Amino acid sequence: MTSVTHRPTWTPWLYLAPALLVLGGLLVYPIWQLGLISFFRYTQAQVSGGEPTTFQGFGNYSALFSDPQFWQVLLATVLFAAACVVSTLAVGCALAVLLTRVRAVPRLALMLAALGAWATPAVTGSTVWLFLFDPDFGPVNRLLGLGDHSWTYGRLSAFLLVLLEVVWCSFPFVMVTVYAGIRAVPAEVLEAAALDGASQWRIWRSVLAPMLRPILTVVTIQSVIWDFKVFTQIYVMTNGGGIAGQNLVLNVYAYQQAFASSQYGLGSAIGVVMLLILLAVTLVYLRLLHRQGEDL
Amino acid sequence: MNPPRLNRPRLNPLRHPWRTAAEASALIVAVVVAFPLYWMVLGAFKPAGEIESTEPRPWTLAPSLDSFRRVFGQQDFGRYFVNSLVVAGSVVIVSALIAFLAATAVTRFRFRFRTTLLIMFLVAQMVPVEALTIPLFFQMRDFGLLNTLGSLVLPHIAFSLPFAIWMLRGFVKGVPEALEEAAYIDGASRSRFLWQILFPLVLPGLVATSAFSFISAWNDFLFAKSFIISDTSQSTLPMALLVFFKPDEPDWGGVMAASTVMTIPVLVFFVLVQRRLVSGLGGAVKD
Amino acid sequence: MNLSPRIPALLLTALVVTACAPQTSSNSSSDKDEKTGTLRVWLFQEVGNEPKQKVVDSVVAAFEKAHSGINVDVEYIPVETRAQRVKAAFNDPSSAPDVMEYGNTDTAGYVKDGGLLDVSKEFAGWSEAKDTDPTAKTSVTVDGRIYGSPFYVGVRALYYRTDVFKELGLEAPRTMTELAVTARKIRAAKPELYGLVVGGAYTYGAMPFIWANGGELATGKDGSYASAISGGSAQKGIKEYTSLFTDDNCPAAKCAGMGGNDTITAFAAGKAAMAIGGDFSHTAVEAGKVKGEYAVVPLPGVSAGSIAPAFAGGNNIGVLKSTSHRTMAVQLMEQLTSKKTQTAMFDAMGFLPTFPDVRQQVAAEQPYVKPFARTLAAGTKFVPASPAWSQIDSSSVLPTMFQEVISGKKSVAAASKEAATKMNDAFGSAG
């Protein structure tokens, strides 16, 4: 990005004022409360005033860190989220490029299908996918001749099934955004590259990707945040975490261990840990971009 | 504003066979992606007992409107629908305006704490929403907003803003500095540039961003469950869907029909959005 | 870009500063006992809600007529939203109802949260209360105090396919051992069917096996429970249940992940010869493929002729602590759960009455109720009346235990010991 022309004035703050007001009141403050709650014994009985709140120091955190299941779930979450992010971005970008190569009718068909997938409520999307892959009632096994193979019994195949659904409902966002970005690239640039005989992959790597970097950055960060926090898909499709909890991810774990039974102190501690991990991932990612000469 | 034509055939006749292959794969992908949706709509029309049949058929010989009747027959269904529209509509409009201003500030100005602010905008999305529900509940209570649509609109604005600001940055950045300088040389005031030049150029991006806020507000269960406590007349559409999820005997036909009903308005919104998105953007960035 | 370490530092500082405690609300009981005004009532919204609404409307009309100046406002809330709604009601007494319906496993939790009113005195003085089923009474009792009135019960029994049994010359099993043998026979003769469809996540279907073998989930009472799930008899029950997850009855690959609803779905679709289903599953099975081809008997116990103790599910109606119309609210609660209302509610919705005499009377009219009524009469059991139960339930302690055994990850002894530890942790922390 070229240098910004404006010298520091009060103008940006004026523009930011409404956003800061809303975010300060409705996000910063609750997050501060979240941090606070994570140091207390704070269950529904405390919230509704049945019992006094008691300060626990790092009690909630040590309970969390001493649970071996937590570390297992954390590892599974990181790997699963990474797989989801990579697949979603790959599918989304590939289809965005495809969209620029086709005429109006197929483009509209793909666009509409993708928008439909995006618009479907997560609960329903997960339920329908589960129906599709059901060993007894689903058409997929019939189609693939898999008999009554169960997709949710094996740990990896259950994760794979959920991954497919996650990619299905989140690639449209990537595809539409990147497609819009590609359309914004001046046609001459692409034509020049094509005339020079550059391959599709080369055009993407050397021309499109650098120009789309601001958009790709946002899309990547958002995907990381969303996929790390996957809840509905796992909860619905693996029936609350899979056989003996083999498909638990952090958000479902937090829900089962804490929120469902109103242990807000413990739940907030998990929330804080999630926040710190995501923050670290984001900062590292941004720093890498920075090193490549990119600016925020 | 004519979108640039990337695939002008006369440039390279060899592209033709490729285009056919590309179009065929686009159609195949479209079918695969649409199939779950088709299954959902099909489920809504299947008569009771046929959804969970050991012989799953991709059609139904006896389409029935029973499931839709159960959905529309619910008390106050129309009311829920309007409430959902009001919530999603207000969230979209207010957050788009606020985000536009904020995105302009963080892309076209350089000031202290700019980066810190940008990171802070992201942080909010990183914690599980359930964890924030309790503090938000007390805030809504203190504002006297519990049991009103306001208790849904406000948190949703807050939750869609960070994302909207981040998304819009790219679009605002795409508008060349030269354009801004030219506007000032022509004697335009800052607010004139902002609203009459920048705003229309960023509009497609705003619309794309709005699509996201719209969906998250439209499909939300959690806030609606937590903040609309005692006044069902303020409930939203997802509550009508939840009725069908009974732990002991979920009514899949009802779930599919209610989901179909919920998905359609978003699709309509999207179809409108899609045209703007595609047509507007190319022109916006061209010098 | 300039990312200084100051952001995380700032955050940390904010987190560590714990000068003031998080917000709470005060939910003290109201001293007022007004005799006029509006009574707010929350009932669960059923899928076909109109018949329920009709019965309630007539009760309300009679109540309003009897108490001039009282206006009753009934609201139907989706079952799925109850957890958040009820919590919110406890947090914001001004939005809270006076009277509400709640699932009976939630009783202890709601009492601990300080939400329900102790109605022991009124309940004791109410003439119909003495006829209440003892298990139903347990489900409104915490620490010997009564916190509501049972509204209906739900109980599970054995559904089986009469056509399949006839074809293979089989009879309804009379003992648990026979149950397993019959199931395997069917699967061997008809490999496309599950013998007895079972689910690794179907806790309420598994509990009778533990209880029938003399095991318990937990022992103790009045707030100090200790897990008994790793006891010898309980382990026997666990072994008996998990041994059904084999390729010759219900393959682990498919059945380990099933919950109660999945098993009924499979039965209704004609995929299983037997299933453990509730009286509330009757409608779903009737709508399925097997209509007219099935019968129901109580789930057999260990010895011939005995009935395995079933879990007594169901709902209660209670009064909230924050009510300012105590007398009126309690009276309305009694009217909503009276014998008369429960009879009408059975006719309208098929909800099983909590009074054995009323139950007998309706079983005479509707034969399908008989096996369920017999199961209830044989004695049912309830989950520990501890607020820890909701934690044990939501963190899937028991399904995890069953699934670990079924998938061969752990032995019965190891899995049940681990489950016992988790349960005791929960009992210890939730008190």
Q: Could you report the per-residue pLDDT of C309-367, keeping only the tens digit for each?
A: 999 999 999 999 999 999 999 999 999 999 999 999 999 988 999 999 999 999 898 88
| Closest CA in chain B for residue C76 | B232
Query: CATH number of B76-286: 1.10.3720.10, 3.90.1150.10, 3.10.20.740, 3.40.50.1260?
Result: 1.10.3720.10
Distance CA B54, CA A142 (A): 11
Q: Is residue A137 very low, low, confident or very high in pLDDT (cuts 50, 70, 90)?
A: confident
B242 closest CB neighbour out of C3, C76, C78: C78
Which chain A residues are within 8 Å of C409, Cβ to Cβ? 244
pLDDT, residue B7, reads: 46
Q: Does A66 touch chain B (CB under 8 A)?
A: no
Residues of chain A with pLDDT > 70, as a percent, come to 96
Cβ atoms within 10 Å, residue C166: 11
Residues A156, A149 contacting (CB under 8 angstroms): no
Average predicted confidence (pLDDT) for chain A: 87
Distance CA C373, CA C371 (A): 5
**Residue B287 pLDDT > 80:** no
**Residue A91 pLDDT > 60:** yes
Backbone angles phi, psi at C128, to 5 degrees: -80, -20
Domain ranges for chain B: 16-64, 76-286
Average predicted confidence (pLDDT) for chain B: 82
Interface chains of chain A (3 or more CB pairs under 8 Å): B, C
Are the Cβ atoms of C289 and B141 closer than 8 angstroms?
no
Q: What is the pLDDT of residues A48-82, one digit of tens each?
A: 777 788 888 888 999 899 999 999 999 999 999 99
Residues C299, C208 contacting (CB under 8 angstroms): yes
Are the Cβ atoms of C1 and A295 closer than 8 angstroms?
yes
Residues of chain B with pLDDT > 90, as a percent, come to 23
Are the Cβ atoms of C7 and B251 closer than 8 angstroms?
no
pLDDT (average), residues C90-118: 90
Size of chain C in residues: 431
ipTM of the complex: 0.86
Q: Is residue B90 very low, low, confident or very high in pLDDT (cuts 50, 70, 90)?
A: very high
**Residue B284 pLDDT > 50:** no
Q: Does C2 touch chain B (CB under 8 A)?
A: yes
pLDDT (average), residues A240-245: 89
pLDDT, residue B11, reads: 47
pLDDT, residue A94, reads: 94
Average the pLDDT over each of A4-8, B125-129, B156-160 and give the range with the smallest value: A4-8
Q: What is the pLDDT of residues C138-158, one digit of tens each?
A: 999 998 999 999 999 999 999
Q: In chain C, what is the straight-line distance between the N-terminal and C-terminal CA atoms, in Å?
A: 52
**Residue B160 pLDDT > 50:** yes
Q: What is the pLDDT of residues B97-130, one digit of tens each?
A: 999 999 999 888 888 888 888 888 888 788 888 7
pLDDT, residue B92, reads: 93
Beta strands in C192-332 (DSSP E): 194-197, 218-221, 224-227, 272-278, 294-297, 310-311, 313-319
Average the pLDDT over each of B178-192, C120-134, C202-216 and give the range with the smallest value: B178-192
| Entry pTM | 0.87
Average predicted confidence (pLDDT) for chain C: 89
Q: Does B243 touch chain A (CB under 8 A)?
A: no
**Residue C20 pLDDT > 90:** no
Size of chain A in residues: 296
Structure tokens belonging to residue C354: 């909590």
| Closest CA in chain C for residue A55 | C21
Residues C250, C244 contacting (CB under 8 angstroms): yes
pLDDT, residue A76, reads: 96
Distance CA A84, CA A163 (A): 6
Are the Cβ atoms of B284 and A184 closer than 8 angstroms?
yes
pLDDT, residue C240, reads: 96
pLDDT, residue B108, reads: 86
Which chain B residues are within 8 Å of C3, Cβ to Cβ? 115, 119
What domains does chain A contain, in order, with CATH numbers? 72-295 (1.10.3720.10)
Q: Please, which residues bridge with residue C325 across strands?
A: C33
- Under 8 Å CB pairs connecting chains B and C tally to 107
pLDDT, residue C7, reads: 46
What is A70-113 written as a DSSP string? Answer: HHHHHHHHHHHHHHHHHHHHHHHHHHHHHHHHS-HHHHHHHHHH
Half-sphere exposure of B102 (CA within 13 A, CB side): 29
Provide the pairing of β-strand C149-154 with C272-278.
Answer: unpaired
Q: Does B208 touch chain A (CB under 8 A)?
A: yes
pLDDT (average), residues A15-23: 92
**Residue B91 pLDDT > 90:** yes
Q: Tell me the residues of chain B between 28 and 67 that have a Cβ less than 8 Å away from chain A.
A: 29-31, 33-37, 39-40, 43, 51-54, 56, 58
Query: Which residue in this structure is represented by tokens 């009311």?
Result: B79
Q: Is residue B239 very low, low, confident or very high in pLDDT (cuts 50, 70, 90)?
A: confident
Q: Tell me the residues of chain A between 189 and 248 that have a Cβ less than 8 Å away from chain C.
A: 238-245
- Under 8 Å CB pairs connecting chains A and B tally to 313
Which chain C residues are within 8 Å of A43, Cβ to Cβ? 430
Residue of B152, B226, B229 to mutate, testing the C interface (most C Cβ within 10 Å of its Cβ)? B229
Are the Cβ atoms of B54 and A194 closer than 8 angstroms?
no
**Residue A4 pLDDT > 50:** no
pLDDT, residue B273, reads: 73
C269 closest CB neighbour out of B52, B146, B222: B52
Q: Does C92 touch chain B (CB under 8 A)?
A: yes
Residue of A48, A124, A295 to mutate, testing the C interface (most C Cβ within 10 Å of its Cβ)? A48
**Residue A138 pLDDT > 80:** yes
B131 closest CB neighbour out of A128, A138, A267: A267
Are the Cβ atoms of C391 and A283 closer than 8 angstroms?
no
pLDDT, residue A295, reads: 60
Average the pLDDT over each of A34-38, B13-17, B86-90, C136-140 and give the range with the smallest value: B13-17
B54 closest CB neighbour out of C4, C23, C270: C270
Are the Cβ atoms of C3 and B230 closer than 8 angstroms?
no
Which chain C residues are within 8 Å of A255, Cβ to Cβ? 394
**Residue C209 pLDDT > 60:** yes
Cβ-based interface (< 8 Å): residues of B facing C: 48-49, 52-54, 70, 75, 115-116, 119-120, 123, 133, 135, 137-138, 141, 146-147, 221-222, 224-227, 229-232, 239, 242-251, 254
Residue of B226, B230, B232, B234 to mutate, testing the C interface (most C Cβ within 10 Å of its Cβ)? B230
What domains does chain C contain, in order, with CATH numbers? 15-154+312-381 (3.40.190.10), 156-310+395-430 (3.40.190.10)
Q: How far is CA C17 from CA A25, A38, A39, in A?
A: 19, 12, 10
Distance CA A96, CA B78 (A): 38
pLDDT (average), residues B222-235: 85
Cβ atoms within 10 Å, residue C191: 10
pLDDT, residue A115, reads: 87
Size of chain B in residues: 287
Most confident listed range (A176-190, B196-210, B217-231, C398-412): C398-412
pLDDT, residue C13, reads: 46
pLDDT, residue B128, reads: 81
Are the Cβ atoms of C22 and A33 closer than 8 angstroms?
yes
Q: Tell me the residues of chain A between 17 and 56 that have a Cβ less than 8 Å away from chain C.
A: 32-33, 35-40, 42-51, 53, 55
Q: Is residue C82 very low, low, confident or very high in pLDDT (cuts 50, 70, 90)?
A: confident
Q: In chain A, what is the straight-line distance between the N-terminal and C-terminal CA atoms, in Å?
A: 9
pLDDT (average), residues A36-54: 83
Are the Cβ atoms of C396 and A245 closer than 8 angstroms?
yes
Q: Tell me the residues of chain C between 256 and 285 that have a Cβ less than 8 Å away from chain B.
A: 260-261, 264-265, 268-271, 278, 280-281, 283-284
Q: Which residues lie below 8 Å from residue B121, measured CB to CB, with a gap of 6+?
A: A23, B161, B162, B165, B166
Are the Cβ atoms of B33 and A168 closer than 8 angstroms?
yes
